[in-house]
Structure 1
Amino acid sequence: MPPLLLRTVQSTSKLTFLILFLVSCRSVKKDADQSGNPLKSQDFMYQYSIIDALMAGVFDGDLTIGELKRKGDFGVGTFNRVDGELIMDQGLVYKVLYDGSVKEVADSDSTSAAFVKFFKADTTITMSGADLTYEKVQEHLVHVLNPNAIYALRISGDFTTMTTRAEKPAKPPYQTLSEHLKVNQVVFNLKNTKGICDGFLLPPYLARTNVPGFHLHYLADDHKSGGHIFGFTTAAVTIEIDYAKGFVIENNTNEEFQKVNLKPDRGEELKKIE
């Protein structure tokens, strides 16, 4: 083969290899972008720890808020030492403290139990009427939604009344959650407040791992009040509903989780505090 022709073939081969390499790199990047976060692409609810562990007094965890944000942008939970109520909305995490104040939480803080999801409403409904209550909203949703499904709910409105709670932080050695709340729960009776209620409606088969039924936390639009919701009254609400295809549980990674007795059924205790 003449030298010039040989150099041409070699140059062409190098060019072909470079083109194939660049195309391959673009393809890999495209595939990675399309796959994204599996919790987001698969539309799953994620939870850190289980409700029975929290009920039994496992009040510390190792999952940081920064890590939690990679699991979802919406949800509820608590913090280490059950130091207040956690509400995540639109990717930001807030703590409702026992004095009634609200603050945005740093990524370095940690949670002992949290339930989150990447929220994207599948449907939106509105309800209105004189003296519309939390109980009436629950009754309607139970009637129209599938009892075996997992739903994230975002309820917004102007509330005539809103009853919530937050708890004081616990000190070791920890009691059970129900015992702790007997003397460390602070109830807030809010009036004429505007905001959002974030949380979940979960089926009975998730009992002992999560809170079956409704579990929502409140955050006022002015970020000056909130907490775990006990009840509300309103004239109208907008309810965004996000159906989850499944759920993922990560056990609490704190060593206390390995020691706690999870055999007792704490369902009745849970009903009393929820």
Structure 2
Amino acid sequence: MIPPASFPKRRFNYLPAIFLVIASLCNGHAQPSKNKRASAPEQDFMYQYSIIDALMAGVFDGDLTIGQLKKKGDFGVGTFNRVDGELLIDKGHVYKVSYDGSVTEVADSDSTSAAFVKFFKADTVIQLKGPDLTYEKVQEQIRHLLNPNGIYALRISATFPTMTTRAEKPASKPYPTLSEHLKQNQVVFELKNTKGICGGFLLPPYLARTNVPGFHLHYLADDHKSGGHVFNFTADAVTVEIDMAKGFTIENNTNAEFEKVNLQPDRGAELKKIE
């Protein structure tokens, strides 16, 4: 477990042409929402099945069903067995974005090889206004607001003039590493004038090799006709819901391949190239 992290106590320096409207903030300090749930303490932790280094090394199958995953969180990201597309959970619904661009809601009987989830309830809501916001600028503003040692679930909603995402084709055995698989089996989508949500996490550097440090977001259009792993976007304004986790729990991948994989190599450089 990781001990609770607090929001930084500092005022904000605004980027040119970007204005922040901050709800639940006072004197430049993030304050917990009065509507924060009073539920079981374990629900305020991020849960993850498997670790990112195992997925990077080619452990593409897992035994955790989607039905079991939904008991661990109603919001999050991941992938499916054989890395068959991108997984996004939003408001308890689990969606798959496939390599052909289609979006489907997934049955509880399906399974995941890696997933990171949380029961989502925003502590803080901020609005970023442009014009000409980019994913990079949004990341910069969010990082400026939040404690770099914290674990945060993020839900970003907007109308996006441009949105660049990807989804993977399913792999075949014997499985290669993830970076090798993506060289020939990654499909990139250049979406235009789409409205929806980017869901996922902002994680600190100390989680490297277990999860994805920094921003890891997946996109789902409101009409459920497009989505994928977020590479870039533009927007004139975005609403960012932020839910700070108290810590995290990891369940090792229960598939037999996890016991055989070599997890000694540091795959951080490979991860940066594909994220």
TM over 0.5: yes
AA in 2 matched with 1:191: K
**Aligned mates of 1:101, 1:161 — CA distance in 2:** 18
Gaps spanning 5+ residues in structure 1: where? 1-33
Q: Give structure 1 regions of 4+ aligned residues with deviation exceeding 4 angstroms.
A: 34-38
Deviation per CA, 1:210-239: give whole Å up to 9, x if none: 000000000000000000000000000000
**Aligned mates of 2:202, 2:75 — CA distance in 1:** 14
Task: Using structure 1 for the length normalisation, give the TM-score.
Answer: 0.86
**Aligned mates of 2:199, 2:126 — CA distance in 1:** 15
Deviation per CA, 1:22-44: give whole Å up to 9, x if none: xxxxxxxxxxxx9965531xx10
**Aligned mates of 2:194, 2:38 — CA distance in 1:** 41
Corresponding position of 1:205: 206
Q: How does 1:84-103 map to 2 (within 5 A)?
A: 84-103=85-104
**Aligned mates of 1:263, 1:127 — CA distance in 2:** 41
Corresponding position of 1:251: 252
Computing the radius of gyration from Cα coordinates, the structure with the larger value is 1
* RMSD of equivalent CA atoms: 1.2
SS of residue matched to 2:179 = helix
Corresponding position of 1:154: 155
Q: How does 1:1-274 map to 2 (within 5 A)?
A: 39-40=42-43, 43-274=44-275
For the Cα contact (< 8 Å) 1:39–1:71, is it kept in 2? no
What is the CA distance between 1:144 and its match in structure 2?
1.1
Q: Going by fraction, where is helix more abundant, 1 or 2?
A: 1
**Aligned mates of 1:159, 1:35 — CA distance in 2:** 34
**Identity percentage of aligned residues:** 82
Gaps spanning 5+ residues in structure 2: where? 1-36
Task: Using structure 2 for the length normalisation, give the TM-score.
Answer: 0.86
What is the CA distance between 1:49 and its match in structure 2?
0.1
Deviation per CA, 1:1-53: give whole Å up to 9, x if none: xxxxxxxxxxxxxxxxxxxxxxxxxxxxxxxxx9965531xx10000000000
**Aligned mates of 1:47, 1:122 — CA distance in 2:** 21
For the Cα contact (< 8 Å) 1:39–1:46, is it kept in 2? no
